[in-house]
């Protein structure tokens, strides 16, 4: 080659390098340019194996939240830089010892410690479905805040919460972890929980990263069976399941978790339409995505991947971190060397993970969250317990009250019946492994603490829920002024993998209530469970019935607060309670059909036992003079609904005023009614006040099947009321 040609070649190569290599996209996942620079610098020093190590997460054996792998070499692997994160390692001292191992690796990259902090940490709050019943976003945010303060002091950087999966099927046991069936409200709760966990500053030592899970549509498994296939149209997904995930991304959640199920025929852990196109693409999500436990490897039994190598290849752009399937650590480097996965895909995932490690400040101080003194001082404090009690009383939904409640404080004795009424473990609820059992206040204990003579009888065995010594329970009732009986399911009967084919509380438990009623004493039934249950006979035999979910550390105190009227119940059901199991799935916002009057079964109608948004107060409220701010709008404009609320009862209380919208005719089928705004208003007895509920412009639009959000001209009915089945028409607004 002639020198001049040679020179030309060199210049061309240099120009190419400047244009393409020099301009290779730099990691840009933080708002802080300094962090982006540090991530790029660190990435440039890492070997392929070290990068893949960052994408690898194992579980410790403190809690078992998935199929545990017996691995005695974890510490050695950490020291070699083969792990980026651990879950289920808790406590300032324990996390410190693992972090020390990470610092011995060649580049000393600290570990992330993740944990399922679902409803509280050591102080346990009500299960999320119960909290959602409060319709009180400030209280929900505060619950997450308290959990973050306790967990961050115990070395936890990252919670796998909130679970925001919309579900209309109470057979699916994980409804307990979510906010119920409504997309609008679910989105608000998602944002509140993220704010509570993450605060305004991820770097603060009392905040933890949140994780929106499970992406996507995990709450709609066929036949309500956990892990089952999901079959859903995109239109259905965009309008009724997607909003809480999107709200989470918009609220700045640090991470997302893939779902176990498939979506549109592809397992979510390898679903590029969901993760690459929608989450990271359209929504511009800058955090990282962790798989669910083993879900990358589970693409093999799904029949979507041939082996671990294939699974690693297929998940590489959709799961940045592999929780426990070990596909990445075993196969991803080979796949890169074989040219099956581009190293730029690995760099992208690692950059996202490292960005979060920089943002929470563990490069500067790897031990900032492992602080024994903070752990001792900030855990189970009077403040966290007060918050838990406040949240718990706001979560109790009064379903029936024939003037039986509130109880007269002058009663002398109470028959506390039902083993669930005295089970600390159950009161805590599922998904509360770190919760302190000893300090849980049961219903029995709370009555005793208030100085009442408590005649306690188990009524049924906790192990089998079958009756034991019913005569003793009847005698206790006869000897008492009132009867408080707990029926339902055990805490561990809802949650992951706890799907049910029957939602009806057993005949034996319901008969127990009937027999107690025969004593002629006032019977108050507490329904305990993590999901909508069916309990018609028990209701008929009770003077009052309250849904008390699993209320956490302060359950008994909160229940007594409500039973004695120290707190006037204000919660509303965030999920429809069916009348018969065969009605599942069931929801208030079902789409319209061509034969509405024929939507029934030959052996029953299609009405629920209790509608979404239902819940009683000791007071009565009247909504008057409701009107909209306008009769006509354009696409992109909202509407205000003004009304006067009167507390027409004899006690102070709170009412959740709800506004629903019906898009009367549109180019796709739409529901009869959709919640689009609400206000929780506190009023003294006899007091009235004027308020306004703002309906955002989005209340009058919808997603097309292609995922575009559009507004269409036409009429919208606007309804107001205190339950989805107790509404009046405010006005019909026309979009021009």
Q: Which residues bind ligand NOJ (CB under 6 A)?
A: 65-66, 87, 116, 160, 213, 292-293, 496
End-to-end alpha carbon distance in the chain: 73
DSSP string, 37-72: HHHHHHHHH--HHHHHHHTEEEE-SSS--S-----S
- Let me know: does 569 contact 546? Beta carbons within 8 Å: yes
> Computed from CA positions of residues 381, 382, 387, 388, in that sequence, does the dihedral angle turn out positive or negative?
positive
CA distances, 95 to each of 156, 372, 395, 435 (Å): 8, 11, 34, 18
> How far, in Å, CA of 701 to CA of 239, rounded?
10
For residues 189 and 720, which CB has a smaller minimum distance to ligand NOJ in the complex?
189
Residue 592 three-state SS = coil
- Let me know: does 247 contact 292? Beta carbons within 8 Å: no
Question: Hey, which residues does 252 pair with through a beta bridge?
Answer: none
- Let me know: does 484 contact 415? Beta carbons within 8 Å: yes
* Shortest Cβ 271–ligand NOJ spacing (Å): 16
For residues 87 and 137, which CB has a smaller minimum distance to ligand NOJ in the complex?
87
Place of tokens 């998940």: 315
DSSP string, 340-390: SS-HHHHHHHHHHHHHHHHHTTTTT-TTTTB-HHHHHHHSS-HHHHHHHHH
Place of tokens 């408590």: 454
Residue from 116, 136, 169, 292 carrying the catalytic annotation:
292
> How far, in Å, CA of 460 to CA of 625, rounded?
51
> Computed from CA positions of residues 495, 387, 92, 99, in that sequence, does the dihedral angle turn out positive or negative?
positive
CA distances, 645 to each of 393, 684, 729 (Å): 23, 11, 16
For residues 95 and 509, which CB has a smaller minimum distance to ligand NOJ in the complex?
95
* Shortest Cβ 125–ligand NOJ spacing (Å): 17
* Shortest Cβ 524–ligand NOJ spacing (Å): 35
* Shortest Cβ 176–ligand NOJ spacing (Å): 12
For residues 81 and 495, which CB has a smaller minimum distance to ligand NOJ in the complex?
495
Question: Hey, which residues does 46 pair with through a beta bridge?
Answer: none
* Shortest Cβ 499–ligand NOJ spacing (Å): 13
> How far, in Å, CA of 422 to CA of 373, rounded?
33
For residues 219 and 543, which CB has a smaller minimum distance to ligand NOJ in the complex?
219
- Report cis status (omega within 30 of 0) of the bond before 134: no
> How far, in Å, CA of 209 to CA of 156, rounded?
9
For residues 182 and 298, which CB has a smaller minimum distance to ligand NOJ in the complex?
298
* Shortest Cβ 36–ligand NOJ spacing (Å): 29
Q: What does DSSP say about strands 688-695 and 639-647: parallel, antiparallel, or unpaired?
A: antiparallel
For residues 145 and 213, which CB has a smaller minimum distance to ligand NOJ in the complex?
213
Structure tokens at 142: 């505060």
For residues 253 and 558, which CB has a smaller minimum distance to ligand NOJ in the complex?
253
Question: Hey, which residues does 622 pair with through a beta bridge?
Answer: 646
* Shortest Cβ 448–ligand NOJ spacing (Å): 36
* Shortest Cβ 118–ligand NOJ spacing (Å): 8
H helix and E strand count, the chain: 23, 26
* Shortest Cβ 214–ligand NOJ spacing (Å): 6
Place of tokens 């009888």: 457
Place of tokens 């509130």: 406
* Shortest Cβ 724–ligand NOJ spacing (Å): 29
Q: Where is 444: in which H helix or E strand?
A: helix 443-449
* Shortest Cβ 116–ligand NOJ spacing (Å): 5
The residues near 487 (Cβ < 8 Å, ≥ 6 apart) are 418, 420, 505, 509, 510, 512, 513, 525, 526, 527, 528, 535, 538
Rg of the chain over all Cα atoms, to the nearest angstrom: 27
> How far, in Å, CA of 563 to CA of 685, rounded?
19
> How far, in Å, CA of 79 to CA of 498, rounded?
38
Using a 10 angstrom Cβ sphere, with 0-12 exposed, 13-18 middle and 19 or more buried, the burial of residue 297 is buried
Tell me the residue nearest to ligand NOJ as measured from the CB.
Answer: 65
> How far, in Å, CA of 719 to CA of 269, rounded?
40
- Let me know: does 568 contact 618? Beta carbons within 8 Å: yes
For residues 293 and 702, which CB has a smaller minimum distance to ligand NOJ in the complex?
293
In degrees and rounded to multiples of 5, residue 18 shows phi and psi of: -65, -45
For residues 74 and 563, which CB has a smaller minimum distance to ligand NOJ in the complex?
74
For residues 163 and 419, which CB has a smaller minimum distance to ligand NOJ in the complex?
163
Residue 136 annotated among the catalytic residues of the structure:
no
For residues 292 and 347, which CB has a smaller minimum distance to ligand NOJ in the complex?
292
* Shortest Cβ 496–ligand NOJ spacing (Å): 5
Task: Report, as residue numbers or ranges, the catalytic residues.
Answer: 292
């Amino acid at each position: 080659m002639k020198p001049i040609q040679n020179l030309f070649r060199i210049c061309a190569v240099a120009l190419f390098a400047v244009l393409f290599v020099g301009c290779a996209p730099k990691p840009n996942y933080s708002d802080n340019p300094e962090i982006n620079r540090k991530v790029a610098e660190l990435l440039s020093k890492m070997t392929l194996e070290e990068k893949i190590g960052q994408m690898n997460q194992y579980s410790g054996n403190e809690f078992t939240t998935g199929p545990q792998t017996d691995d005695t070499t974890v510490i050695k692997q950490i020291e070699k830089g083969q792990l980026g994160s651990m879950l289920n390692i808790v406590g300032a001292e324990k996390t410190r010892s693992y972090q020390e191992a990470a610092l011995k690796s060649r580049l000393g990259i600290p570990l992330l410690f993740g944990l399922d902090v679902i409803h509280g940490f050591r102080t346990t709050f009500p299960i999320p479905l119960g909290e959602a019943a409060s319709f009180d976003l400030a209280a929900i945010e505060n619950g997450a805040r308290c959990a973050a303060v306790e967990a961050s002091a115990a070395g936890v950087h990252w919670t796998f919460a909130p679970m925001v999966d919309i579900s209309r099927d109470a057979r699916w046991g994980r409804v307990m972890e979510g906010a119920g069936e409504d997309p609008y409200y679910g989105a608000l709760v998602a944002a509140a929980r993220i704010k509570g966990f993450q605060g305004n500053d991820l770097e603060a030592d009392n905040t933890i990263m949140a994780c929106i899970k499970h992406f996507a549509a995990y709450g709609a498994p066929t036949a309500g069976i956990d892990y089952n296939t999901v079959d859903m149209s995109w239109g259905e997904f965009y309008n009724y399941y997607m909003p809480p995930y999107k709200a989470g991304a918009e609220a700045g959640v640090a991470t997302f978790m893939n779902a176990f199920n498939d979506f549109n025929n592809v397992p979510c852990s390898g679903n590029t339409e969901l993760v690459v196109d929608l989450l990271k693409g359209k929504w511009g999500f800058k955090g990282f995505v962790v798989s669910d436990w083993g879900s990358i490897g589970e693409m093999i039994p799904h029949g979507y991947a041939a082996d671990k190598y294939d699974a690693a290849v297929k998940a590489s752009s959709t799961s940045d971190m592999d929780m426990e399937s070990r596909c990445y650590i075993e196969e991803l480097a080979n796949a890169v060397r074989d040219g099956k996965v581009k190293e730029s895909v690995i760099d992208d995932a690692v950059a996202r993970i490292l960005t979060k490690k920089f943002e929470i400040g563990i490069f500067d101080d790897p031990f900032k969250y492992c602080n024994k003194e903070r752990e001792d001082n900030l855990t189970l404090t009077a403040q966290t317990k007060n918050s838990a009690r406040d949240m718990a009383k706001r979560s109790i939904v009064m379903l029936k009250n024939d003037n039986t409640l509130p109880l007269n404080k002058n009663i002398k004795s109470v028959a506390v019946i039902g083993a669930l009424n005295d089970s600390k473990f159950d009161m805590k609820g599922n998904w509360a492994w770190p919760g302190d059992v000893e300090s849980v206040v049961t219903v029995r204990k709370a009555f005793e603490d208030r100085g009442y003579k408590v005649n306690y009888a188990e009524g049924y065995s906790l192990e089998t829920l079958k009756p034991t010594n019913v005569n003793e329970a009847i005698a206790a009732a006869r000897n008492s002024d009132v009867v408080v009986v707990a029926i339902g399911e055990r805490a561990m009967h809802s949650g992951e993998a706890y799907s049910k084919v029957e939602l009806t509380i057993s005949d034996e438990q319901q008969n127990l209530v009937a027999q107690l009623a025969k004593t002629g004493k006032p019977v108050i039934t507490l329904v305990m469970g993590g999901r909508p249950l069916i309990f018609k006979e028990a209701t008929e035999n009770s003077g009052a019935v309250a849904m008390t979910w699993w209320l956490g550390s302060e359950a008994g105190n909160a229940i007594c607060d409500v039973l004695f009227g120290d707190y006037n119940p204000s919660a509303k059901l965030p999920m429809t309670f069916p009348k018969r199991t065969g009605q599942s799935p069931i929801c208030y916002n079902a789409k319209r059909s061509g034969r509405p009057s024929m939507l029934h079964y030959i052996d029953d109608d299609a009405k629920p036992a209790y509608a979404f948004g239902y819940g009683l107060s000791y007071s009565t409220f009247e909504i008057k003079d409701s009107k909209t701010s306008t009769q006509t709008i354009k696409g992109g404009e909202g509407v205000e609904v003004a009304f006067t609320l009167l507390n027409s009862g004899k006690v102070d209380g709170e009412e959740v005023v709800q506004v629903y919208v019906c898009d009367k005719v549109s180019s796709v089928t739409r529901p009869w009614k959709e919640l689009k705004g609400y206000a929780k208003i506190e009023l003294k007895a006899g007091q009235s006040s004027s308020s306004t509920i703002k309906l955002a412009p989005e209340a009058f639009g919808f997603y097309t099947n292609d995922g575009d959000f559009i507004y269409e001209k036409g009429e919208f009915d606007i309804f107001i009321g205190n339950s989805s089945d107790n509404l009046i028409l405010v006005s019909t607004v026309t979009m021009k």
